[in-house]
A and B are shown apart, each in its own frame.
Chain A
Amino acid sequence: MTEPFVHPYIPNTAPETRAAMLAAVGAASVDEFYADVPEALRLGRPLDLPEPLVAEQDLARHVTALLAKNVSTHEKLSFLGAGTYHHYVPAVVDEVIGRSEFLTAYAGEPYEDHGRFQALFQYQSLMAELLAMDVVNVPTYDGFQATATSLSMAGRMTGRRRVLVASDVLPAKLSKVRDYVRVHLDLEFVATVDATADVAAVAARLGDDVAAVWVETPSRTGAVEARLQELADAAHAVGAVLVVGTDPIGYGVLTPPAEQGADIVCGDIQSLGLHQWFGGAHGGFIAVHDDARFVMEMPSRLFGLATTDVPGEFGFGDVAYDRTSFALREEGKEWVGTAAALWGIAAGVYLALMGPQGMRDLGEVLLARTRYAQQALAAIPGVALGDGALHLREFTIDLSDAALTAGSVVAALRAQGIEPGVPLGEHELLVCVTEMTSQRDIDRLVAAVGGLVDRAGLDSGSALVDRRTAGLDTGSALLDRRTTPTSQEQYA
Chain B
Amino acid sequence: MSLPVAPKPALRRFHQARWDEPIIFELSTPGERGVLVTPVEPGVRAAVGDVVGDLPDGLRRSAPPALPELGQMRVLKHYLRLSQENLGADLNVDVGQGTCTMKYAPKVNDQLIATPDLTALHPLQDPDDAQGVLEIIWQTERMLAEISGMDRVSLHTQGGSAAIWANIAMIRAFHEANGEGAQRREVITTIFSHPSNAAAAKAAGYEVITLHPDPDGYPDLAALRAALSPRTAAIMVTNPEDTGIYNPAITEWVDAAHAVGALASYDQANANGILGITRARDAGFDVCHFNIHKTFGTPHGSGGPGTGANAVSEALAPFLPGPRVEREGDRFVVREAGERSIGSVGPFFGVVPNIVRAYAWIMALGAEGLRAVAETAVLNNNYLMTKVLEIPGASAPYATGRRRIEQVRYSWQELFEETGITSEEIGVRASDFGMHYWTSHHPYVVPQPFTLEPTESYSMAELDEYAAVLAEIAREAREEPETVRSAPHRQTVHHTHHDDLDDPERWAITWRAYRRKYFGAGAVGGAGSGDAAADEVAA
| CB of A28 closer than 8 Å to a CB of B | no
A129 touches which one: B60, B65, B70, B492 (CB < 8 A)?
B65
List which B321-366 residues lie within 8 A (CB) of chain A.
Answer: 342-356, 359-360, 362-366
The stretch from A203-211, A340-348, A448-456 touching chain B is A340-348
In the complex the two chains form, is B502's CB within 8 Å of A142's CB?
no
Instruction: Give the complex CA separation of A292 and B504 in angstroms.
Output: 6
Bound together, the chains give a CA A32 to CA B386 distance in angstroms of: 15
B410 on the A face (CB < 8 A):
no
On chain B, the residues within 8 Å of A76 by CB distance are 125, 129
Apart from A106-B301, A108-B86, A280-B353, 13 more pairs, CB < 8 Å: A10-B373, A35-B403, A73-B122, A80-B125, A109-B436, A112-B87, A121-B511, A278-B133, A279-B349, A316-B496, A352-B70, A358-B35, A368-B40
Q: Is there an interface contact between A307 and B497, defined as CB atoms closer than 8 Å?
A: yes
Structural contact, B199 and A335, CB atoms closer than 8 A: yes
Q: Contacts A63-B112, A105-B89, A330-B201: A114 and B491 contacting too (C-beta < 8 A)?
A: yes
Name B432-449 residues within 8 Å CB distance of A: 434-436, 438, 441-442
- In the complex, per-residue mask of B236-254: 1 if CB is within 8 Å of any chain A CB, else 0: 0000000001111011000
Does chain B have a CB within 8 A of A359?
A: yes
Q: Is the CB of A327 within 8 A of B442?
A: yes
Q: Is the CB of B122 within 8 A of A325?
A: no
Measured in the bound complex, the distance between the Cα atoms of B126 and A76 in whole Å is: 10
B519 interface residue per 8 A CB criterion: no
Residue of B nearest to A141 (CB): B158
Give the segment of B275-283, B415-423, B470-478 that binds chain A: B275-283
CA distance A59 to B364 in the complex (A): 6
- For window 157-197 of B, CB contacts with A under 8 Å fall at 157-162, 164-165, 169, 176, 181-182, 195-196
CA distance A329 to B75 in the complex (A): 39
Encode A312-352 as 1/0 by CB contact (under 8 A) with B: 11111111111001111111101111111111010001011
Residues of A within 8 A of B342 (CB): 179
Contact A357–B69 (Cβ < 8 Å): yes
* Contact code string B462-490 (vs A, CB < 8 Å = 1, else 0): 00000000000000000000000000100
Question: In the assembled complex, which residues on chain B have CB atoms less than 8 Å from the CB atom of A10?
Answer: 369, 372-373, 376, 456-457
Known A-B contacts A130-B67, A337-B162, A368-B51; the reply to A13 vs B125 at CB < 8 A is no
Asked whether A409 is an interface residue with its Cβ less than 8 Å from the other chain, the reply is no
Whether A279 and B348, one on each chain, are in contact in the complex, defined by CB atoms closer than 8 angstroms, is: yes
Q: Are A83 and B509 in contact (CB under 8 A)?
A: no
Contacts of A11 in B (CB 8 A): 457-460
Q: Does A167 contact B (CB under 8 A)?
A: no
- A256 CA / B125 CA spacing, docked (Å): 32
Interface window among B100-108, B256-264, B309-317:
B100-108
**Cα-based distance from A59 to B112 in the complex (angstroms):** 10
In the complex, are the beta carbons of B494 and A308 less than 8 A apart? yes
A46 → chain B closest CB, angstroms: 4
- Give the size range of B's interface with the partner: 35 or more
Q: Are A306 and B41 in contact (CB under 8 A)?
A: no
| CB of B291 closer than 8 Å to a CB of A | yes
Q: Are A255 and B60 in contact (CB under 8 A)?
A: yes
Residues of chain B within 8 A of A179, CB atoms compared: 169, 342-343
Q: Is the CB of A332 within 8 A of B199?
A: yes
Judging by beta carbons under 8 Å apart, are A280 and B488 in contact? Answer: no
Complex CA gap A146/B89 in Å reads 29
| Closest Cβ neighbor of A117 among chain B residues | B86
What 1/0 flags go to A72-91 for Cβ under 8 Å of B? 11101010101110101010
Count A/B pairs, Cβ under 8 Å: 753
- From known contacts A280-B353, A330-B198, A338-B304, infer whether A310 and B535 are also in contact, taking CB-CB under 8 Å: yes
Q: Which residues of A contact B10 (CB under 8 A)?
A: none
B510 interface contact, C-beta 8 A: yes
Residue pairs across A and B with Cβ atoms less than 8 A apart, 25 shown, are A36-B405, A40-B282, A41-B282, A42-B278, A63-B112, A67-B115, A74-B120, A76-B125, A105-B88, A106-B302, A119-B86, A144-B344, A152-B203, A173-B344, A176-B346, A226-B59, A251-B61, A281-B352, A329-B208, A339-B159, A341-B304, A355-B68, A358-B37, A375-B47, A419-B124
Q: Judging by beta carbons under 8 Å apart, are A36 and B41 in contact?
A: no
Given the known inter-chain contacts A52-B365, A276-B120, please indicate yes or no for A226 contacting B56, CB distance below 8 A.
yes
The listed residue (A25, A175, A255, A334) touching B62 by CB distance below 8 A is A255
Residue of B whose beta carbon sits closest to that of A59: B364
How far apart are the CA atoms of A9 and B371 in the complex, in Å? 13
Shortest distance between the CB of A311 and any CB in chain B (Å): 5
Write out the residue numbers on chain A whose beta carbons fall within 8 Å of the beta carbon of B376: 10, 12-13, 18
Encoded as 1 (CB less than 8 Å from any B CB) or 0, chain A from 415 to 441 comes to 000010010000000000001001100
The docked-state distance in angstroms from the alpha carbon of A335 to that of B199 is: 6
| Other-chain residue from B121, B147, B200 in contact with A335 (beta carbon distance below 8 A) | B200
Q: List CB contacts (< 8 Å) of A95-130 with chain B.
A: 95-96, 98-116, 118-122, 124-126, 128-130
Chain A residues within 8 Å of B372, by CB: 5, 7, 10, 13
Chain A residues near B251: list those with CB within 8 A. Answer: 38, 40-41
Contacts A21-B383, A365-B37 known; A304 to B56 CB distance under 8 Å? no
A-side contacts of B353, CB under 8 Å: 277, 280-281
B39 at the interface (CB under 8 A from A): yes
Question: What CA separation (Å) do A342 and B301 show in the bound complex?
Answer: 5
| CB of A154 to closest CB in B, whole Å | 15
Verify A118–B85 contact, CB threshold 8 A.
yes
* B404 adjacent to chain A (CB < 8 Å): yes
Check B498 for interface membership: any CB of A closer than 8 A: yes
Q: Which residue of the partner chain B has the closest CB to A288?
A: B509
Q: State whether A62 touches B363 (Cβ < 8 A).
A: yes
**Contact status B89-A106, CB under 8 Å:** yes
Q: Mark A20-56, 1 if CB is under 8 A from B, else 0.
A: 1110110100101111111011110011111111101
